[in-house]
Amino acid sequence: DAGVIQSPRHEVTEMGQEVTLRCKPISGHDYLFWYRQTMMRGLELLIYFNNNVPIDDSGMPEDRFSAKMPNASFSTLKIQPSEPRDSAVYFCASSFRPETQYFGPGTRLLVL
């Protein structure tokens, strides 16, 4: 199994630009999670989906952030417009059981 796949692995952009992060969950997993990790705040849940439907987006910091899951094998997290304080590592994770979430390698985002 290839595991959770995320792209790009690194992204450097300028303030105001749109950023799109991509995730392919493990086949057969019906839950998908987006997290953000920073030194100051640790790992925070942004949003999660069940069977492609958003269940809880209360962690999304503001309207500049949006996430979609058009099918069971693909999800995107978009930031528009990006700001320097969005710089972080963004992880996607998938699971079929509550206790075991499998994380992707993450996308390191730097907004200048």
Applying CB under 8 A, which residues contact other proteins? Answer: 31, 33, 41-45, 48, 50, 55-56, 91, 95, 98-101, 103-106
Min. distance of Cβ 74 from other proteins in angstroms?
19
Min. distance of Cβ 14 from other proteins in angstroms?
24
Find the helix or strand (DSSP H, E) in which 47 lies: strand 42-50
When the beta carbons of 45 and 72 are compared against other proteins, the nearer one is 45
When the beta carbons of 10 and 18 are compared against other proteins, the nearer one is 10
When the beta carbons of 82 and 107 are compared against other proteins, the nearer one is 107
What is the Cβ-side half-sphere exposure of residue 14, based on CA atoms within 13 angstroms? Answer: 0
Cα–Cα nearest to 18, from 111, 85, 92: 111
Query: Rounded distance, CA 112 to CA 110, Å?
Result: 6
Residue 33 has which token pair?
A: 């999670």
